[in-house]
A and B are shown apart, each in its own frame.
Chain A
């Protein structure tokens, strides 16, 4: 299967978008080679602003550009965009409901060798808690491109979570991403895995393996974490009676929490959450880290078997 990092797809999509939409401007914080905004910078140098290693000012500047009708894409690593500049995002973007798209790469532990300081495992929780904020975690390159265009069409702040590592391309080009709609990749009767980002790839593999054991397991790509597709979550709960979530993020505050909230209020069924269990990451290769922290096909399968025992 062809592979591409979602940050790479983001960089390419931005150029396409920039050709169509004069209003699009891009800001980066000395990481344009990594976030791939360098492609946009090369083609549209006058619409690209390198703000240096100053993420707080970057967010405030993006807010000012948005006030004047621009559609700013503000990029850095996820940890710095949402962590260092959290309060700027809150007070100068989310509260005034400004049309800023925060597109952050290097989310999660697949950052790898750089270690815990650079591995954002709480950014979804932070962004999801903000009123007015839309939170999108694309699963592959095709969905990323779609999400970039959807974010630009959407009026209001968006957080777009991107990864460093190359991930399989799951979708055909004719796939249509819609903000707020989960996408069912596989139907099941016994349980459903709800995943986002790279975990969608692993969830599909887990579901195939479980099928060989005689279990019918559905897979939902929940690429919009907020607004969450509550209907899809409840439907999955009703149809299969047991859910497993999988995310490259802490189980506190991310996709697993969002799904748990809906189940608790609307349709309680057994749930297991795969994700980082209240811990930071560390240095290592992405593969090693995924295995060590349970973000693996085997661990997803294990959680499906366990949740079935609770049914």
Chain B
């Protein structure tokens, strides 16, 4: 299982970069970046057909980060995948940087779509899927949504449309970390039951452990086999995953770690201690 160890190691390095870059920026969203590390790592390093040397390759698979506040995760993955140099990660949120606080497709190669306003990414993924079908291109579209994001009505407009147009090349990951800004999603305004809702909207739904690479990859393999309807993968995750003092903490949604906290986090994310 060499590939699995490679993915675990990538995830660990990406987590380190997320913590480091948000710390350096002095602002940003660690919790929701850390909860989706395995999902995005699996996509960029195992699942998607991409060519970092040719970011506009028409047949590439697409990834839309609908929960755009997890930009540090996307940037770290893109840097590790070779879209740009890792040093640039430290420019996050700085004036003139290509690494805007939320992703900007115009400034950074590899960023498929500008996001940050929640609720809009699935619609964009649908449009990409419709274009792919018209053009007879084989690519697939992956989109990552937050569980709190599901409170946006537009998500359900898009869910309805994806099923209506039988967009089986669309796969939506739901980062089910149970938290949003003001508290647990069940207390703020519950979008539950999430799986049942997507199923009722005509989707195939798979529920997995969102930190288990085997399950993530297995679910995508299954989604690829499903014809005539889109697939939602509800990924059970831990907000802040990998950094003990951030895990399950609402308070770490949108707060940057101070230098000593970055240090503690990096110690925890040292190599050789198993999974980060």
Q: Which residues of A contact B (CB under 8 A)?
A: 25, 46-47, 49, 51-52, 54, 56-70, 72, 87-88, 91-92, 95-97
Query: Does any Cβ of A come within 8 Å of B130's Cβ?
Result: yes
B104 to chain A, nearest CB (A): 7
Q: Which residues of B contact A (CB under 8 A)?
A: 58, 104-106, 112-117, 119-132, 134-135, 153-154, 157-158, 160-161, 164-165
Would A54 and B113 count as touching, CB distance under 8 A?
Answer: no
Which of B114, B130, B135 is within 8 Å of A64, CB to CB?
Answer: B130
Contacts A57-B123, A57-B158; A64 near B105 (Cβ below 8 A): no
Which of A47, A60, A69, A87 is within 8 Å of B126, CB to CB?
Answer: A60
Which of B129, B132, B154 is within 8 Å of A88, CB to CB?
Answer: B154
Would B104 and A96 count as touching, CB distance under 8 A?
Answer: yes
Would A92 and B114 count as touching, CB distance under 8 A?
Answer: yes
Which of B106, B113, B165 is within 8 Å of A63, CB to CB?
Answer: B113
Would A54 and B161 count as touching, CB distance under 8 A?
Answer: yes
A79 to chain B, nearest CB (A): 18
Would B131 and A64 count as touching, CB distance under 8 A?
Answer: yes
- Minimal Cβ-Cβ distance residue in A for B68: A91
The 8 closest A-B pairs by CB, nearest first: A64-B127, A60-B123, A68-B131, A57-B157, A54-B157, A61-B127, A96-B114, A64-B124
Would A67 and B128 count as touching, CB distance under 8 A?
Answer: yes
Which residues does chain B contribute within 8 Å of A54, judged by CB atoms?
154, 157, 160-161
Would B113 and A51 count as touching, CB distance under 8 A?
Answer: no
A8 to chain B, nearest CB (A): 27
Would B130 and A60 count as touching, CB distance under 8 A?
Answer: no
Which of A52, A59, A65, A96 is within 8 Å of B130, CB to CB?
Answer: A65
Separation of A88 and B131 alpha carbons in the complex (Å):
19
Which residues does chain A contribute within 8 Å of B126, judged by CB atoms?
57, 60-61, 64
- Minimal Cβ-Cβ distance residue in B for A70: B131
What would 27 A/B residue contacts be, using CB atoms closer than 8 Å?
Answer: A46-B134, A54-B157, A56-B153, A56-B154, A57-B157, A57-B158, A60-B126, A60-B158, A61-B124, A64-B123, A64-B129, A66-B127, A67-B105, A67-B113, A67-B127, A67-B128, A67-B131, A68-B58, A68-B131, A68-B132, A72-B127, A91-B114, A91-B117, A92-B113, A92-B123, A92-B124, A95-B114
Contacts A49-B165, A52-B160, A57-B154; A63 near B135 (Cβ below 8 A): no
Which residues does chain B contribute within 8 Å of A97, judged by CB atoms?
106
Separation of A49 and B104 alpha carbons in the complex (Å):
27
